[in-house]
Structures are given as structure tokens and as C-alpha cells.
């Protein structure tokens, strides 16, 4: 790794002793705030503005362009609008689960960014089990979805919650198995190691990013990731035309914002994982690492939005079938093949 | 001409020049107690307790497989239900079964055992006119709330009587439905009246078994606006024509207007000039394209699950048609362009520019349709979702009185433009589109291919109109200022609307207003097939089936 994780550099910058625990706790908190703000900024840009503009471009429309340059001030307007709405708490909701669910959905994805190296030293922590930690935090959102679905005391929410569980079970296993094949290549769960393993070149100018080394795993991971973040063709936990809005039917105002935010952070976390384990993390020519990193996660975001604009939604039974009968088998085969090849070569 | 279709000659009463009503009366023997002459067909009067025997004989032995409509009305001395029968093979073979019932206790046998479609039609007759149908499977109100007092189209109904229903008295939709409680594995869920996929205010009472639909019951009437009564209070000449635009209000206005125009013109014996007929044909087909584009876009919305590209593309292209319709009629939604005996005004000037606009649209259309096919029908996920879901067999489609793209998607070759020609259709070269898949996919394909056929019709109309000699452009026949058709004439006439057979029944009483005005809405009959299509299917398929029916609640509820 080229630079130390963020808290240490912050301590250096402040001229404090990086070996003292209180200093490190403080610096970690500052670092977390920095990373969190960065991702929140991205989400704010994506949610009210970029998503609209991208979808509009796909569907021959103009979208927001009245307030500010390119309609950018819609972000402010939307924030004020959403936060000033009344928070309606339906009768019979199961509190505190109902209140905790939006928090869990929004925060779980944010936690994952702690171990993601974003380039230019923006790397909060680098534990040895980094990749396992990221997958664990990303999966926590499923609990939030079930909580929201069950606690809302609404049949549509309930159906949405059940669908979310079924979907996440079916797709998280292929997701992690495919991730594991990368671990076999890199020989480590530590994210800095995985990124470092991709810094060599494969053939000519092509870097040895795992997307190029094993494109099959990359495609599998992209698909499983679409399901993991619940975007078309796998947006069935929300399924607006079928079950209204699924688990988020009863949420309004701030809670709605949290869930909505959580979804976008989740897409970005998915993008960050893909960028890190398949696209060489912050690596890239000329531009600084952080810029490359952002380009990569926005590329994944663009991909999800493209799928959303063009691909029909599959049915719940078809989704489960694709997950268990297709993705699981393929990802297992990928894992085995990778293990054999790596074993033979090494 | 590609439009000929032979009818089987073995059926009773079928001769070279139309129906032999004597042979039919003979078939029914003593059941026929009297015969009436309606403008469109003969009416056989039968006793109220022999309805099932008569209808089942006519269905099985004389081939009347289409119960097009049921009109109920009250006279000074009796109630009357008229069953308008036709044949899917040849809808010009018509027969009306007139069933009088006593004034003090109006009831007659239900036809629901013979034709599934009679179920809802009789419920509507009970609801609005107040006739009881014996042996009906489920005789409840259908359009009005269950707590409504009186029957609004009956003579002694007091319109000023307040209909105050407190919230407590109003039936709780969950209370009377114990199905979910009998069986702990099922769940009752109200889909609608406020739901993203109901295409208006439709309420579908659904019982779910997990993700599968165990039982559904569409509940309609939220958009009932007394259209029939309003038409009965308007004069033939001018006051009725604006209403049809408000039935199927999503751009099918021209087609709806034609339904009324055709019925009233045949009733009053008005001959429409040929030039006006060509204009009517062209504008009606433009309306059909606009309506099918919307159907396509909203169906894609239901299957794709979001306002995706295809929805926006369909709306973008529909916009071009809407602009042309606006040029013709001056309106985008409520055209009010047809007049009895013609149309309101001639095509817009400069004509060259106008024709150029239409031709540009027609030239672009094939590429646009190709794009749609790439996006939806060619998409594997779309095929996975739509092929073999929402299956409606041809037999069931006929029994439920399904018409339009819904019937044609089930392989029922029935199109009134060809089978019961009106306007200028029989002079033009076009084809009736059918698909035999019987599923959601077929119904979408039918609509997409019908857009192509409509484009062919429009192109031929434009050719004709361009060459039409300038001194022969007669847009309006001579129609008296106040139209008073002969008293006691009865007529049922239908046109091929965007959703199917849109029929009007009119009874005249010698005044300038109809004594009874009944609308046969294709969506009303088509919607009845929803339980048939979706039982045992998954919720998403039920939603897709509902979308593939392409209902407009303004026409279902009227």
C-alpha cells in the first residue's frame, strides 16, 4: 500500500502522537466523518438530481432544469421539501422496529466504506478481514428491510419484506462466492492486499484488474450486485406497480429520506466493492486516485440506472429460480475453476 | 379484398340474404309469444321464466355465441330486459330476446348460466333499473355503493332523495370477506382503488395464497357518472355527441363518437356523404393508434415496473398523433368532432401541410415500431413474463363477451370494421390481426400489429382525400335542426372501438331525446375476464393481465 490509513495521516497532519489511543479514536471519528460526508455528498447528487437527469436522457426527456445551473439547486429544494413534510406514523406500527429500520438501512451501507481505499490516503481502516467485513455490513440492510416490512403493519410492506429476504438469500450467496474467487487470486481478505495484487499489468497496457483476469466472475458479480441493491430487473421488493412500494409503503418524510438515501448509498457501496475487487480500486493513469475511484463507482451507478430504464422486472419465482439454479451453480463453478487454476499455476 | 369471411351454412336460420327469423321462431317453438321489429334485428318476446331455455337453444343450436349486450328498461306498464345476441362469426346476424316482466315484481331468469358475460350485465340492470334476476350467481349492486337507496333509471326514482350514508353504515370491504379467515394460509388484500397499477380507480379484492392469487373480485363503479342518464336528457342533434368523448377518454374519442353517430344515423335514416366518411375513417384510425400507443406504454409500465424508456417512447410518439388530431378537431382530449350526418368541419388548411404531417408520421412509424419490438417483444425477460401468463381460452373469451384486441389475442377473429362494415372500411385494403397465443404477449402483439394496419388505412384515406375533387367536399348531410326519430323505434348498433365492440342501444319515443340510451362498453365485458385469467397466477401476472386488458375506467363505469 502506498499510504497509511486515514486516521494515521490525520494524526500526522495535526502533529499528534499516532500511538496514543485517545488521539486515534478522535482521528478515526474525524476520518469517518470525512468519508461519510463524501459519500453523502455523492448520494445527494445522485438521488434528487443525477438519477433524474440520467433517466431523462434514456427516455428522451429533459428533467429538472428550472432551478440553478442544470437544475442543480433541485437538490436543495428537494431536501427542504422532503424534510419539511409531515412524518405520518400509522396506527399499529411495531415500534421501535419501525423507527430503527430506516436508520439501519441507511447506516449499514455507510459502514462498509470504512475499509474501502478511495485513493489519496482516503482509507479509514485496513483490517485483515476487510472483504468479509464489507459483505457483512452490506447484508445488514436486509435486516432493515425485513424490519420495515414487518413493523409497518401493512400487507404490501409485509409482502415487500418477505420478497426482500427471499431475494437477498438467493443472491448474496453467489455474490460472496464470486467475491471469494477474487480472494483466491489475491490470497488475502485484506482489501489493501487485493488492490495491490491488481497493480501489475496483464498484457501490454491492460492492467491486471480482476475484471480482465476473470471477466466471467466480474459479470456474475455485476448481476448479483443488481439484485443485492434491488434494482431492475430485480427490484421486486419494491415493485411499484405490484405492491405499491413494498417495505417502504408506510414511510414518509425523514424516514422516507433515510430509506431512499440508504438505497443510493447501497448502490454506491456495491460500486465501491466492484471498483475495489474487480477494477483495481483507485488505480488509474494521470488523474488522482480519488477521482478514478469516483468515476468507477459512478460508472456502476450509471449501469444500474441503465438497467432500470430498459430492462423489465422478473417475477418473484423467476428471480428465485435464476438465483438458486443459475447464479449459485455458476458462481460455485467459477470458484472451483479459480481454485484449480490458481492451484496449478501457483 | 382481404376482408371476406365465410360463415358456416349449417346453422339454423342462416340464408344467403340474412337471417330467416321464421326458422328461428320455429326452432324456439312455443317459447316465442310475440315478435317485435327492431331496426337492427327482430325481437322475440319470451316469458321471463323461459329465458334460460331459449338462450341455451339459441346458443347451442342456432350459433348465437355472443351476448353482446343486455338492456334493461322500465315502461309505463312493464319492465323489459333485452338480450342482444350476435354471432362471433358474423355479427350482422343479430337477434334480440325481449323479456318483459311485471311492474309490481320485476324478475326474470338469469342468463348467467348460459353466457358468463351476463353476470355483470345483469348486475348492472339490477343496480340501475331494478330488475331481479332469478338464479343469478351473485346479484349485487355493481356500479353504485351497496347502501344506495332505489334504482336510478327506474321511473319512480326520486333524484332529490338524499343518499346519506354514514361511514359506519358503509360496508367494510374486509368484513364481508371471510375467505381469508376460513383459510389461515391466505391473505386478503385490497388492490386499489388507490394503487399504482389499476389504470384509474379500480378496486380489486384479492385473496392471496403466498404470492399467488387465490381469488379476485374486481369492484367497479368509482367513476360512474350517469352517462346513460345524461344522454337520455340530451337532444339527439347536438347535446349527446360531447358525451362519448368522456367514456374512453384516453384519445379514443373519435371512435366513441362514431358509435353514437352510427346508432343515431341508422335510427333516423341519415345518409352520410362519402367524403365525410373518409375523414371519419381516417380520424378514427388516428385515434386508435393513439389509444394503442397508450395501451402499449402502460402495459410496459406494468411489466417493467417503472416509468421506463418504452413508456416514454410510446408517449412521445403518441404525441405526434395527438397533434394531428388537434389539427383536425381543435381539441386534444374531448374532440367533439363528429356530427350526425357528417363531421364538424373540413380538414385544416393548408391541406398540403396537413397531409405532409400525417405522411411524415406514417413514414416514421415502422422505425418506431421496430424500436418497440427491440425494447419489449424481443426482450427475453419480457417474454418470460408475458408468454403463457394470463391465459384466456377462445371459448372463455367468447362466453365472457370479450371483444377487440382481447378477443383477437385469443384467436377470436372478430372485428366489426370488417364483419359489420361501416364508414369507408370495406373499400380499403387492410387485414384483421389475430394471434393465437391467448396470453398477455399475444394481446400486446395484436395491438402493435393493429397500429400497422391502422397506418395502412390512414395512408389510403390520405391518398383518397388528397385527390378528392374540390367541389365535392361535402362534410355534412342534410339533417333537420331538431331530430325526432319515429316513436318506438329500437336499435342496437356497434362500432369497433379501441378496446372492442362499443355499442349503443337507443329507443325513441317521438321526442327529440332518447327514451332509453344504453352503452355497451367493451371494457366492461373485457374486465370480467380478469378472474378467469389470473386465478392461480402470481400477483405480477395478475397486474400484467390487467394491463393487457387495457381498460379505461371511464368506459367501464360510464
Cβ distance of A310 and B308 shorter than 8 Å: yes
Tell whether the torsion through CA atoms of B323, B327, B329 and B330 is positive or negative. Answer: positive
- A300: Cβ contacts below 8 Å, ≥ 6 apart: A222, A225, A267, A270, A271, A274, A275
Q: Residue A294, exposed/middle/buried by CB under 10 A (0-12, 13-18, 19+)? A: buried
What's the confidence (pLDDT) of residue B435?
Answer: 87
Rounded to an integer, what distance in angstroms lies between the CA atom of residue B384 and that of residue B170?
42
Cell numbers representing residue B104 in the block: 309490481
Q: How many CB atoms lie within 10 A of CB A328?
A: 17
Grid cell in block for residue B88: 362471433
Please report the pLDDT score of residue B504 as a whole number: 92
pLDDT of residue A156: 86
pLDDT in tens, B77-120: 889 899 998 888 888 888 888 888 888 888 888 888 888 898 89
Interface test with A, best of B174, B304, B319, B541 (most A CBs within 10 A): B304
8 Å CB contact of B384 and A317:
no
Are B326 and B235 within 8 A, CB to CB?
no
Per DSSP, chain A holds a count of helices (H) and strands (E) of 15, 2
Interface mutation target, options A226, A241, A304, chain B, most CBs of B under 10 Å: A241
Residues 6+ apart with CB under 8 A from B167: none
Contacts of A149 (CB under 8 A, 6+ apart): A157, A158, A159, A160, A161, A162, A164, A246, A247
Cβ separation B381–A159 shorter than 8 A = no
Which of B538, B176, B242 is closest to B390 using CA atoms?
B538
pTM of the shown model: 0.85
Q: pLDDT tens across A103-141, in order?
A: 888 888 888 888 888 877 778 788 888 888 888 888 888
- Ranges of residues in chain B whose predicted pLDDT is under 70: 1-10, 17, 165-184, 305
Q: What pLDDT shows up at residue B170?
A: 60
Give long-range contacts, CB 8 A cutoff, 24+ apart: B370-373.
B371/B313, B372/B296, B372/B310, B372/B313, B372/B314, B372/B448, B373/B448
Q: What residues does each domain of chain B span?
A: 14-134, 227-557
- Give CA–CA dist B179/B215, Å, rounded: 9
Instruction: State the sign of the Cα–Cα–Cα–Cα dihedral B202, B208, B212, B217.
Output: negative
**Closest residue by Cα to residue A155 from A90, A247, A239, A234:** A247
Partner-chain contact A159 B312, CB within 8 Å: no
Cβ neighbourhood burial of A127 (10 Å; 0-12, 13-18, 19+): middle
CA distance A295 to B2: 59
Alpha carbon distance A219, B390 (integer Å)? 33
- Calculate the CA dihedral of residues A239, A243, A247, A248 and round it to 10 degrees: 80
CB contact under 8 A, B305 and A241: yes
Task: Tell me the β-bridge partners of A206.
Answer: A203
Cross-chain Cβ contact B303/A317 below 8 Å: no
Contact B440, B534 (CB under 8 A): no
Specify the DSSP element, H or E, that contains B338. Answer: strand B338-339
B306: its cell numbers: 417503472
- 3-class SS of residue B303: helix
- pLDDT confidence of residue A333: 92
Q: Does A70 touch chain B (CB under 8 A)?
A: no
Residue window 215-254, chain A: list those with CB within 8 Å of chain B: 232-233, 235-236, 239-244
DSSP for A178-239?
HHHHHHHHHT-S-HHHHHHHT-SEEETTEE--HHHH-HHHHHHHHHHHHHHTT-TTS-TTT-
A63 — contact with chain B (CB < 8 Å)? no
A328 Cβ contact list (under 8 Å, min separation 6): A170, A173, A174, A177
Q: How far separated are the first and last CA of chain A, in Å rounded?
A: 23
Task: Tell me, rounded to whole angstroms, the distance of Cα A36 from its chain centroid.
Answer: 13
The 3-state secondary structure of B476-505 reads ECCCCCCCCCCCCCEEEEEEECCCCEEEEE
Q: CA-CA distance, A229 to B2, in Å (whole number)?
A: 53
Going by DSSP bridges, is the β-strand pair B42-46/B32-37 parallel, antiparallel, or unpaired?
Answer: antiparallel
Distance CA B449, CA B441 (A): 12
Alpha-carbon B264 to chain mean position:
17
Nearest residue in B to A56, CA atom: B309
Asked whether the beta carbons of residue B375 and residue A310 sit closer than 8 angstroms, the reply is yes
Kindly determine whether residue A242 and residue B211, on different chains, have CB atoms separated by under 8 Å: no
Element (H, E) at B68: strand B66-74
User: Which residues pair with residue B207 across a beta bridge?
Assistant: B188, B215
Of B307, B299, B221, the C-alpha closest to B524 is: B221
Cα dihedral across residues B119, B121, B122, B126: positive or negative: positive
Task: Identify the DSSP state of B224.
Answer: -
Q: What is the pLDDT, as a whole number, of residue B454?
A: 92
Residue of B211, B320, B546 best to disrupt the A interface, most CBs of A under 10 A = B211
C-alpha cell of A10?
490525520
Per-residue pLDDT of chain A (346 residues; tens, 9 = 90+): 344 577 777 777 777 777 778 878 888 888 888 888 888 888 888 878 888 888 888 888 888 888 888 888 888 888 888 888 888 888 888 888 888 889 888 888 888 888 888 877 778 788 888 888 888 888 888 888 888 888 888 888 888 888 888 888 888 888 888 988 888 888 888 888 888 888 877 777 778 788 878 888 889 898 888 888 777 778 877 777 777 878 888 888 888 888 888 888 888 888 899 988 888 878 778 788 888 888 988 998 898 888 888 888 888 888 888 888 888 999 999 999 888 888 887 6
Identify the residue whose cell numbers are 342534410: B478
Class of domain B227-557: mainly alpha
| Cα–Cα separations (whole angstroms), residue A130 to A112, A194, A276, B81, B365 | 9, 10, 11, 77, 55
Beta bridge partners, B46, equal B32
Instruction: Please choose, from the candidates B558, B548, B218, the residue with its C-alpha nearest in 3D space to the C-alpha of residue B397.
Output: B548
Nearest to B270 by CA among B515, B508, B476, B41: B476
Give the Cβ contact number of residue A286 at 10 Å: 6
Backbone torsions φ then ψ of B494, nearest 5 degrees: -135, 155
Give the CA dihedral A162, A91, A47, B379, nearest 10 degrees: 40
DSSP labels for B359-425? HHHHHHHHHHHHHHIIIIIT-HHHHHHHTTSS---HHHHHHTT--HHHHHTTT----HHHHS--TTG
Q: Which residues of A touch B379 (CB under 8 A)?
A: 311-312
> CB A153: neighbour CB atoms within 10 A?
14
| Cβ pair B306:A232 closer than 8 A | yes
Of B195, B301, B308, the CB nearest to A309: B308
- Residue A312: which of B208, B211, B379 has the nearest Cβ? B379
| Segment holding B288, helix H or strand E | helix B274-304
A322 vs B: CB within 8 A? no
Mark out chain B residues that contact chain A at CB-CB < 8 A: 187, 189, 195-197, 208, 211, 300-309, 311-313, 316, 375-376, 379, 381-382, 384-385, 538-541, 543
Cell (9 digits) for B406: 382481447
Other beta carbons within 10 Å of B399: 21
Pair B454, B478: CB distance under 8 Å: no
C-alpha A48/C-alpha A68 separation (Å) is 14
CATH class of B14-134: alpha beta
**Per-residue three-class SS string for B116-170:** CCHHHHHHHHHHHCCCEEECCCCCCCCCCCCCCCCCCCCCCCCCCCCCCCCCCCC
CB A48 within 8 A of CB A74: yes
Query: Within 10 Å of residue A302's Cβ, how many Cβ atoms?
Result: 13
B226-271, pLDDT tens digit by residue?
A: 888 888 888 988 889 889 988 888 877 889 999 999 999 888 888 8
For residue A313, the chain B residues in CB contact (below 8 A) are 303-306, 381, 385, 540
Q: How far apart, in whole angstroms, are the C-alpha atoms of residue A334 and residue B128?
A: 67
Residues of B in contact with A237 (CB under 8 A): none
Name the nearest CA neighbour of A223 among A260, A293, A278: A278
Separation CA A171–CA B9 (nearest Å): 61
All residues of chain A having their beta carbon less than 8 Å from the beta carbon of residue B196 are: 240-241, 244
Amino acid at each position: 500500500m502506498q499510504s497509511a490509513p486515514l486516521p494515521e495521516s490525520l494524526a500526522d497532519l495535526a502533529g499528534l502522537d499516532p500511538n496514543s489511543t485517545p488521539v486515534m479514536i478522535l482521528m478515526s471519528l474525524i476520518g469517518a466523518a470525512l468519508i461519510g460526508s463524501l459519500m453523502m455528498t455523492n448520494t445527494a447528487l445522485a438521488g434528487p438530481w443525477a438519477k433524474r437527469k440520467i433517466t431523462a436522457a434514456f427516455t428522451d426527456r429533459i428533467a429538472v432544469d428550472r432551478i440553478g445551473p442544470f437544475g442543480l439547486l433541485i437538490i436543495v429544494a428537494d431536501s427542504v421539501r422532503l424534510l419539511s413534510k409531515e412524518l405520518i406514523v400509522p396506527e399499529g406500527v411495531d415500534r421501535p422496529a419501525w423507527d430503527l429500520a430506516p436508520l439501519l438501512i441507511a447506516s449499514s451501507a455507510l459502514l462498509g466504506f470504512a475499509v474501502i481505499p478511495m485513493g489519496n490516503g482516503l482509507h479509514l481502516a485496513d483490517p485483515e478481514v476487510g472483504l468479509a467485513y464489507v459483505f457483512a455490513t452490506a447484508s445488514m440492510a436486509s435486516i432493515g428491510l425485513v424490519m420495515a416490512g414487518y413493523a409497518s403493519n401493512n400487507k404490501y410492506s409485509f409482502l415487500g419484506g418477505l420478497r426482500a429476504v427471499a431475494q437477498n438469500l438467493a443472491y448474496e450467496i453467489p455474490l460472496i462466492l464470486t467475491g471469494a474467487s477474487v480472494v483466491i487470486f489475491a490470497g488475502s481478505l485484506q482489501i489493501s492486499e487485493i488492490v495491490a495484487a491488481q497493480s501489475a499489468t496483464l498484457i501490454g497496457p491492460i492492467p491486471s484488474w480482476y475484471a480482465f483476469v476473470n471477466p466471467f466472475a466480474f459479470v456474475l458479480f455485476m448481476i448479483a450486485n443488481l439484485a443485492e441493491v434491488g434494482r431492475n430487473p430485480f427490484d421486486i421488493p419494491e415493485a411499484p406497480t405490484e405492491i405499491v412500494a413494498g417495505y417502504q409503503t408506510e414511510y414518509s418524510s425523514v424516514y422516507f429520506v433515510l430509506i431512499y438515501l440508504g438505497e443510493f448509498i447501497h448502490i454506491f457501496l456495491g460500486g465501491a466493492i466492484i471498483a475495489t475487487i474487480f477494477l483495481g480500486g483507485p488505480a488509474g493513469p494521470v488523474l488522482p486516485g480519488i477521482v478514478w475511484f469516483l468515476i468507477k463507482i459512478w460508472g456502476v451507478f450509471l449501469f444500474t440506472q441503465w438497467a432500470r430504464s430498459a430492462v423489465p422486472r422478473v417475477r418473484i419465482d423467476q428471480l428465485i429460480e435464476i438465483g438458486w439454479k443459475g447464479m449459485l451453480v455458476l458462481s460455485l463453478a467459477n470458484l472451483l475453476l479459480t481454485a484449480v487454476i490458481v492451484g496449478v499455476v501457483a | 379484398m382481404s376482408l371476406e369471411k365465410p360463415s358456416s351454412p349449417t346453422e339454423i336460420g342462416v340464408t344467403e340474404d340474412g337471417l330467416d327469423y321464421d326458422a328461428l321462431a320455429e326452432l324456439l317453438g312455443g317459447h316465442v309469444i310475440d315478435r317485435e321489429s327492431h331496426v337492427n334485428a327482430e325481437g322475440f318476446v319470451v316469458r321471463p321464466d323461459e329465458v334460460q331455455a331459449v338462450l341455451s337453444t339459441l346458443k347451442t343450436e342456432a350459433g348465437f355465441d355472443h351476448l353482446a349486450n343486455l338492456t334493461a328498461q322500465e315502461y309505463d306498464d312493464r319492465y323489459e330486459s333485452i338480450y342482444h345476441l350476435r354471432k362471433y362469426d358474423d355479427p350482422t346476424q343479430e337477434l334480440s330476446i325481449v323479456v318483459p316482466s311485471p311492474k309490481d315484481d320485476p324478475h326474470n331468469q338469469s342468463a348467467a348460466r348460459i353466457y358468463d358475460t351476463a353476470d355483470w350485465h345483469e348486475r348492472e340492470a339490477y343496480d340501475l333499473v331494478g330488475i331481479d334476476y332469478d338464479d343469478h350467481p351473485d346479484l349485487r349492486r355493481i356500479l353504485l355503493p351497496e347502501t344506495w337507496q332505489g334504482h336510478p333509471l327506474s321511473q319512480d326514482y326520486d333524484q332529490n332523495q338524499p343518499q346519506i350514508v354514514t361511514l359506519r353504515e358503509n360496508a367494510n370491504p374486509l368484513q364481508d370477506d371471510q375467505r381469508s379467515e376460513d383459510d389461515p394460509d391466505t391473505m386478503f388484500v385490497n388492490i386499489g382503488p388507490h394503487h399504482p397499477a389499476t389504470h384509474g380507480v379500480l378496486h380489486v379484492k384479492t385473496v392471496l395464497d403466498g404470492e399467488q392469487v387465490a381469488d379476485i373480485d374486481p369492484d367497479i363503479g368509482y367513476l360512474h357518472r350517469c352517462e346513460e342518464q345524461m344522454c337520455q336528457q340530451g337532444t339527439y342533434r347536438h347535446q349527446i355527441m360531447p358525451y362519448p368523448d368522456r367514456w374512453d377518454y384516453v384519445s379514443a374519442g373519435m371512435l366513441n363518437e362514431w358509435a353514437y353517430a352510427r346508432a343515431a344515423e341508422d335510427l333516423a335514416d341519415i345518409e352520410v356523404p362519402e367524403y365525410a366518411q373518409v375523414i371519419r375513417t381516417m380520424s378514427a384510425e388516428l385515434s386508435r393508434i393513439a389509444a394503442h400507443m397508450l395501451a402499449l406504454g402502460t402495459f410496459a409500465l406494468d411489466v417493467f415496473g417503472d416509468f421506463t424508456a418504452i413508456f416514454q417512447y410510446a408517449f412521445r410518439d403518441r404525441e405526434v398523433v395527438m397533434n394531428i388530431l388537434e389539427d383536425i378537431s381543435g381539441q386534444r382530449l374531448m374532440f367533439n368532432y363528429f356530427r350526425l350526418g357528417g363531421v364538424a368541419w373540413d380538414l385544416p388548411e393548408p391541406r398540403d401541410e396537413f397531409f405532409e404531417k400525417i405522411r411524415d408520421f406514417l413514414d416514421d412509424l415502422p422505425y418506431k415500431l421496430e424500436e418497440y419490438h427491440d425494447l419489449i417483444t424481443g426482450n427475453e425477460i419480457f417474454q418470460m413474463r408475458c408468454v403463457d401468463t394470463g391465459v384466456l381460452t377462445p371459448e372463455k373469451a367468447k362466453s365472457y363477451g370479450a371483444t377487440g384486441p382481447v378477443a383477437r389475442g385469443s384467436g377470436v377473429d372478430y372485428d366489426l370494421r370488417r364483419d359489420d362494415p361501416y364508414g369507408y372500411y370495406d373499400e380499403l385494403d387492410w387485414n384483421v390481426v389475430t394471434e393465437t397465443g391467448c396470453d398477455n404477449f399475444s394481446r400486446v402483439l395484436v395491438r402493435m400489429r393493429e397500429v400497422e394496419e391502422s397506418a395502412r388505412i390512414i395512408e389510403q384515406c390520405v391518398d383518397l382525400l388528397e385527390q378528392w375533387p374540390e367541389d365535392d367536399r361535402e362534410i355534412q348531410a342534410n339533417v333537420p335542426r331538431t331530430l325526432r326519430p319515429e316513436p318506438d323505434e329500437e336499435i342496437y348498433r356497434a362500432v369497433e372501438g379501441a378496446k372492442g365492440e362499443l355499442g349503443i342501444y337507443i329507443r325513441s319515443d317521438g321526442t327529440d331525446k332518447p327514451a332509453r340510451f344504453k352503452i355497451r362498453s367493451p371494457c366492461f365485458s373485457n374486465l370480467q375476464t380478469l378472474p378467469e385469467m389470473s386465478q392461480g397466477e402470481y400477483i405480477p401476472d395478475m397486474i400484467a393481465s390487467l394491463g393487457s386488458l387495457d381498460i379505461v375506467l371511464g368506459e367501464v363505469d360510464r
